[in-house]
Chains A and B, each alone.
Chain A
Amino acid sequence: MGLSGLQIYKLLPKTNCKECGYPTCLAFGMKLAAKQAELSACPYVSDEAKQALEAAAAPPIRLVTVGSGDKKVEVGNETVLFRHEKTFFHQPGLFVRLKDTMPLAEFEAAVEQVSGYKVERVGIELWVDGIAVENASGDGANFAKYVAAARSKADRPLVLIASEPASMASALEQTDGSAPLIYAAAADNWEAMADLAAKHHAPLAVRTDGDLSALAELTEQIKDAGIEDIVLDPGLRDLKGSLAAQTQLRRLALKSNFRPLGYPIVAFPGEGVDSREEEAIQAAQHIAKYAGIVILDHFDPATVYPLLTLRLNIFTDPQKPIQVSPGLYEISNPQTDSPLLVTTNFSLTYFSVAGEVEGSGKPTWLLVCDSEGMSVLTGWAAGKFDAEKIAKSVQQFGVPSKVSHKKIVIPGLVSTISGELEEELPGWEILVGPREAIHIPAYLRTWE
């Protein structure tokens, strides 16, 4: 949270020399507080004051990057407790944990499976962010070998899990400046772990067993040792405890502006449960309630796909539904006599329909109206997808110049508008399609 103009003034030289372009240090301080001036405009500000001001301007939850390159994961820097207050900005990274006690070939295959996984939803490609390698063998050289294997099989961010600093050190030698998350510094090893984090410019996870005061004490020590990219593990593994702890951490950062705990959170949903379904439930809670990194113990598309979908939902900006551009879309090279369907520009609606049309193999025109990103019924109820709008879109996107017939298929859910649409589009035949997109292929098969 920012400082007030008066608080900033106290840190300035108070000489009123005017070199910053303002008549007094106080005036300059006011401008700084309003973010209308840059601190660098004052040549006399002390290093101490600079640091204090920068720290005060820092976000309440630090943005931490795990990994490097285009698949890196950036988490933290959230500003609200509820998504309706603004939006959540940085979706949690999903990782899958693999142990260095698996046979190497199996490990490599698993790494390839996880990193090769991708799935598309509403035109957005989703994937699992990275791999967490755990030093379950306790052997440093073995750990290093598995981490090297993970690196060579997948260009993805890593989390390295080991409690022995020596093991961690040998594994880090294999990571080549790729900034893996080091898990974890605890009360008994934090100095050595912090040294490694500094040496490899890698973020450092800090763990305690449920005691937030102890956690804050540790992060303060680690920060004093020069490490700033910190990730918190409050150590609770049950549904109720983790919800409480993660809520407290978010509140402490945002409401109390409590710096020692102003970092993203790492969570292990598989540790306190009996099955992968329960792991998914816990992971879902972490996605909605405040985790930055979620490390799964199972990789199964039947749970990962719903979790990725949930993450997409929760991290959608509530002010802006995901939309596609309105227009006349060509699917499978339509001819002038191909069928013409009309829908809205809400991404979910568009992709549900376009996906089915594509799957049917039938060349088709799809007219996408500007419903301001609303679904069929929502758009209809709000007057953004009605007869008038559809008729206007027919002209606006030049349908008559591309399509030789005068038949238009409307979504089954808005069958009631066909009369009005006949009036708006004189000479057109209004056909009512099925209510659900999955029945479109069968419907198109009946079209001559």
Chain B
Amino acid sequence: MPVTVQLPKEKWTGTVREVTLGAAAAEGGTRKKIVTVGGESTLPFLTFEGEIPNRPLVALEIQDRYPDDWSDLLKHVWGETMQDAAVWAQKAEEYDADLIALKLQSAHPEGDNTDAAQAAKTTKSVLAATGLPLIVYGPGQAEKDNEVLVAVAEAAEGDRIALGNCEDKNYRTIVAAALAHGHLVVAKSPIDVNLAKQLNILISDMRLDLDRILMDPTTGSLGYGLEYTYSVMERLRVAALTGDSMTQQPMICTVGEEAWRSKESKVNEGVPEAWGDWDQRSINWEVLTATTLIEAGADIVVLRHPESVKLVKKAISGLMAA
């Protein structure tokens, strides 16, 4: 007897907001490439019941100082390019990144403590070196973040970059800078649906349009909290699709930073043989963290290794296939 299977389809009522990064000359910017993320009206890649209009994107992370503390594998693959953020950005574009994520590490008060003028200068040189849209992160210390990001916002006027991170205790100055100069913000909250929503509310209360907010749910890498990030992202995306407005922001995950912090990627001395080849294992660590989170709803993943970019982009193409 022939059986007919009725495929169950969800009737989602909500849609993730579309967020556009970068502005071309016509809109007053200098970017050669403009990208849009978000817009999903179904769970990741389930196009039998909704739309996935924009592919998830891959950003490459660069820093404004030589990252001494990075894994030797990364230092090896990037080599001398890491001495200069502009050169590094150019190389990242060659490696087919969709976006550049610039971290202003040198501004950290416990490090080189470089100033706002320096941050503005670096931003300009990176913008001149690449046509890709830009995300700029402060050093991760509230006061210093505010100081440098204000200068960055001004320096990048017109280019619709993203400024990060806005956190619950420190978002006003960054949001104000984004408002004043036509940029976006990254809103970061610690693996919690309600905190993510709340921060989006606080930011939009300052009248920054919701199509200018990316949310970072906080990334735990493979073996180091991935499951928490994975589940909070699934919950956020389900909430977005069921119509909860304040969860409808595209999500960005700092995969490279977290994956390359793990012992598996950092060292190869005195580790079990069962861990396998160091280079391969580390790349797999970054790639599997990325693809797993993309399948949980990530719209942008920030990576560190060029080989990971290749593999993740190919996987995204597979997931987006017609």
Contact = CB atoms under 8 A, between A and B. Distances in A.
Nearest to B277: A302
B8 interface: yes
Contacts of B1: 217, 220
Give the size range of B's interface with the partner: 35 or more
A213 B2 contact: yes
Contacts of A240: 45, 47, 318-321
Given A217-B2, A220-B1, A288 B292 contact: yes
B291 interface: yes
A30 B6 CA distance: 31
Contacts of B44: 243
A301 B276 contact: yes
Interface string A98-119: 0000000000000000000111
Interface string A299-343: 011111111011011101010000000000000000000000000
A284 B288 contact: yes
Contacts of B3: 213, 216-217, 220, 260
A44 B145 CA distance: 77
A301 B287 contact: no
B272 interface: yes
B170 to A, nearest CB: 16
B263 interface: yes
A261 interface: yes
A278 B320 contact: no
A243 B295 contact: yes
Interface in B272-289: 272-277, 280-281, 283-285, 287-288
Given A238-B321, A252-B8, A281-B287, A82 B276 contact: no
Query: Which of B231, B284, B285 lies at the interface centre, i.e. has the most chain A CB atoms within 10 A of its CB?
Result: B284
Interface in A57-100: 82-84
Contact of A306 (B4, B261, B288, B311): B288
A231 interface: no
A302 B284 contact: yes
A284 B274 contact: no
Interface string A232-256: 0000001110011001100110011
Nearest to A219: B3
A313 B226 contact: yes
Given A83-B227, A302-B276, A309-B223, A212 B7 contact: yes
A19 interface: no
A213 B4 contact: yes
B222 interface: yes
Interface of B: 1-8, 43-48, 190, 222-228, 230-232, 234-235, 238, 261, 263-264, 266-267, 270, 272-277, 280-281, 283-285, 287-288, 291-292, 295-296, 311, 314-315, 318-321
26 contacts: A83-B230, A83-B234, A84-B231, A216-B5, A217-B2, A238-B321, A239-B45, A239-B315, A240-B319, A240-B321, A244-B47, A248-B7, A251-B8, A255-B8, A260-B3, A278-B314, A288-B292, A288-B296, A302-B280, A302-B284, A303-B280, A305-B281, A306-B285, A310-B292, A313-B227, A314-B230
Interface of A: 82-84, 117-121, 212-213, 216-217, 220, 238-240, 243-244, 247-248, 251-252, 255-256, 258, 260-261, 277-278, 280-281, 284-285, 288-289, 300-307, 309-310, 312-314, 316, 318, 348, 352, 359, 375, 381, 436-438
